[in-house]
Structure 1
Amino acid sequence: MLTSPDGKHRPELERIEAALLDRNPRRTLLYLRESPEASRYLMDLAAGTCELSHEALDTRIIQAGGTQGSTLAIDYFRAVLVSASILPLRDENLARLERWVALKNDAIADPDDRRLVTAFARWDRIAKIRRRARGKPITLATANIAQGQIAKAITFLTWLKTQNETLATCRQPIIDLWLTSDAHQGNYGVQPFVVWAVRSKFASGISVPHRPRRTFQAGSTPVNAGQPPVGFSTTSPSRPATASPVLWSCSTDRSPRGSAASPRPT
């Protein structure tokens, strides 16, 4: 795999070969046999037509359409190279988010929508995540939240076309119609996109309120429903509980407080 087409073995690739075989030779052979994308990448490395970098691996995944098989194969190869210090350690959750954005953008047909989604994802969501992270790796939950907000923005732009509207022509009644529609789950998730669009002058006169909180009306089930009221026994629903437990004196030769003294033996 790591031999160039002219039959020469490139010395700079010896570390890659050692990393793959030292990890688990049998698994490596199965991995290369079952993953055409990984095998093709190794042959390109040997031929010198592909660079060894995180960006090159990400490009391979995007070119393969981000399928689960190609992603797992390339990510396994990446993990081997990182563990062998051949590739530098990086924030994988953030990198996967950026790669997901690139795949989503490629699937958007409308060029105007593609530019809007790219700007919102790159300069608002991802930029804010980087500022808050301050150089530290982000959590998977953080990446998932941003991914959901970007996906909701794409869905909203697509829905506007069914209403013969664009983001520039959208007005508040259209927003209200979106929020009351049963066809979209998590309608309020579009709020970050709308706020950004208005602030960036891509839209005007529209807003999405915060998701309303659930409130309990009079007569609703209380929080401690099913629990007995204070002062009643759990053994009999109609019988009051006994008084507080009898307090005993610290001295052992005294009887319980509130009760008659026990006769002492003579």
Structure 2
Amino acid sequence: MRWLDRPIPKALLASLASGQTITHSSLDRCPSGQAREHLRSLLVAAMILPRRDENADRLATWTDEFLAGLPRHHVALVKPYAHWMVLRLVRRRARRRRTSFGIATAARERVRCAVRLLRHLDNRQEAITDLSQATLDDWLAGNRARTGNTAPFIKWLNGRGITDDLFVAVPKRTKPTRVNSDEQQQAQIRELLVARDQEVALPERVAGLLVLLYGARLERIHRLTTAELTRHNDRLHVALSDHPTEVPTELAVFIERLAADAATAPRARTFTGDANYLFPSTRRPHAPLHPGTLGRKLARIGVLPQTTRNTAMVALASDLPAAVISTQFGLTPESATRWAAHARRDSIEYLVARVEVPRPSDDTAQ
């Protein structure tokens, strides 16, 4: 109740009481912060506000608020770039599928990177029209992340004649360096399987095992619902992609306990009411836990998401061909092929192993 006495919620609720129409746009005009977004989620849950693609629409609001704090000569360049290239691509993608947290985060970083380049030029007392290939290369300094996030901005500048045919060579992807040894990975799996509930909370245990065993992304794990759990031949399957994956009995027991807990939590119910989130938000009703929050919870129990996922993917790519990894774990064919290259494995071994598995005879089947 003390939350209602804070300035922003108080002002918004006063507006509601005065009969003014509350819309997503009117909320966006209020100061940014957790209070605004928490109130938005409550209003959506109460069906006062319509549902929307939250990550895409919050990205648009963030862009306008971010631009408001920039010098005019930066806004003159970054605003059209952000709206007509970065946001346009996100919205185009949103027509086909929901905008993920990762997509929105990557879009923000592209806008920030454009601003960093402009600040670098300001420090050199140079205008964007003075940007040379040598200056650009020196600023990129072979940094793959910076180069990838800067490339779209340079392409946009070239296309509008602001810069003169500058070129950004994105370094090739390298083999992941942050990986555990097989012994470390197996030890973490054993620890989560045998740990007591007082030592490791059930949600963190399940999420950690999904990362350690299947290289599942937090962006996928945090949205899992009870509807994505199925049983076939008395074995539990979890839909980590379009194709459900059978999980071992030990993990199945934990997942079914988590599903039972979710089924009794009204706030864990999805907005459509047809399932319950396995990892519900503690702040927002009818919403999943934020992937960043889930990642921090895993880090506190020693499961570093990127490191453990890298290790799991290398192990899977060592045992399965790229085509299987792609369909079973929701990777693009290109990404699955890269993991296979990292593991240096040929799918012929997988096919040979399948042929060598003895098939039951007709008499045995009977």
TM over 0.5: yes
Shift of 1:194: 0.6
Aligned to 2:120: 159
Gaps of 5+ in 1: 1-28, 216-222, 225-266
Mapped to 1, the partners of 2:26 and 2:3 lie a distance apart of 19
Identity %: 28
Q: Any idea what the Cα deviations from partners look like across 1:217-253, whole Å, max 9, x if unmatched? A: xxxxxx99xxxxxxxxxxxxxxxxxxxxxxxxxxxxx
Q: 1:125 aligns with which of 62, 86, 95?
A: 86
> Does residue 11 of structure 2 align to residue 40 of structure 1?
yes
Q: Tell me if the contact between 1:178 and 1:187 (Cα under 8 Å) persists in the aligned partners.
A: no
Q: Counterpart of 1:202 in structure 2: which amino acid?
A: I
Q: Counterpart of 1:194 in structure 2: which amino acid?
A: I
Aligned to 1:196: 156
Aligned to 1:72: 34
Q: 2:75 aligns with which of 96, 109, 114?
A: 114
**Aligned positions of 1:96-115 closer than 5 A:** 96-109=58-71, 111-115=72-76
> Does residue 60 of structure 2 align to residue 90 of structure 1?
no
Shift of 1:102: 1.2
Aligned to 1:227: none
Shift of 1:136: 3.6
Shift of 1:208: 1.2
Q: Any idea what the Cα deviations from partners look like across 1:111-149, whole Å, max 9, x if unmatched? A: 121021111111001101111221542111100111111
Shift of 1:38: 0.7
Shift of 1:171: 1.3
**Aligned positions of 1:152-191 closer than 5 A:** 152-180=113-141, 186-188=145-147, 189-191=149-151
Mapped to 2, the partners of 1:85 and 1:45 lie a distance apart of 14
Aligned to 1:31: 3
Mapped to 1, the partners of 2:152 and 2:64 lie a distance apart of 20
Per the alignment, in what secondary structure is the counterpart of residue 61 of structure 2?
A: helix
Per the alignment, in what secondary structure is the counterpart of residue 168 of structure 1?
A: helix
Shift of 1:185: 8.5
Aligned to 1:147: 108
| Change in 2 beyond 3 A, CA 1:89/1:214 | closer
Gaps of 5+ in 2: 176-313, 316-366
Shift of 1:170: 0.9
Shift of 1:46: 2.7
Q: Tell me if the contact between 2:144 and 2:170 (Cα under 8 Å) persists in the aligned partners.
A: no
Q: Tell me if the contact between 1:171 and 1:205 (Cα under 8 Å) persists in the aligned partners.
A: no
Q: Counterpart of 1:187 in structure 2: which amino acid?
A: R
Mapped to 2, the partners of 1:89 and 1:213 lie a distance apart of 38
| Change in 2 beyond 3 A, CA 1:56/1:208 | same
Per the alignment, in what secondary structure is the counterpart of residue 52 of structure 1?
A: coil
Q: Any idea what the Cα deviations from partners look like across 1:34-73, whole Å, max 9, x if unmatched? A: x21110122233335x53100000110xxx2x3xxxx221
**Aligned positions of 1:244-255 closer than 5 A:** none
Mapped to 1, the partners of 2:93 and 2:66 lie a distance apart of 24
Mapped to 2, the partners of 1:200 and 1:108 lie a distance apart of 22
- For normalisation by structure 2, the TM-score amounts to 0.45
Q: Any idea what the Cα deviations from partners look like across 1:14-49, whole Å, max 9, x if unmatched? A: xxxxxxxxxxxxxxx23202x21110122233335x
Q: Tell me if the contact between 1:94 and 1:143 (Cα under 8 Å) persists in the aligned partners.
A: yes
- Greater radius of gyration (CA): 1
| Change in 2 beyond 3 A, CA 1:156/1:72 | same
Mapped to 2, the partners of 1:135 and 1:213 lie a distance apart of 27
Per the alignment, in what secondary structure is the counterpart of residue 78 of structure 1?
A: helix
Q: Counterpart of 2:104 in structure 1: which amino acid?
A: A
Mapped to 2, the partners of 1:77 and 1:146 lie a distance apart of 25
Higher relative contact order (CA 8 A, sep 6+): 2
Q: Tell me if the contact between 1:117 and 1:153 (Cα under 8 Å) persists in the aligned partners.
A: yes
Per the alignment, in what secondary structure is the counterpart of residue 77 of structure 2?
A: helix
Mapped to 2, the partners of 1:178 and 1:124 lie a distance apart of 22
Per the alignment, in what secondary structure is the counterpart of residue 137 of structure 1?
A: coil
Mapped to 2, the partners of 1:76 and 1:179 lie a distance apart of 38
Mapped to 2, the partners of 1:211 and 1:133 lie a distance apart of 28
Per the alignment, in what secondary structure is the counterpart of residue 165 of structure 1?
A: coil
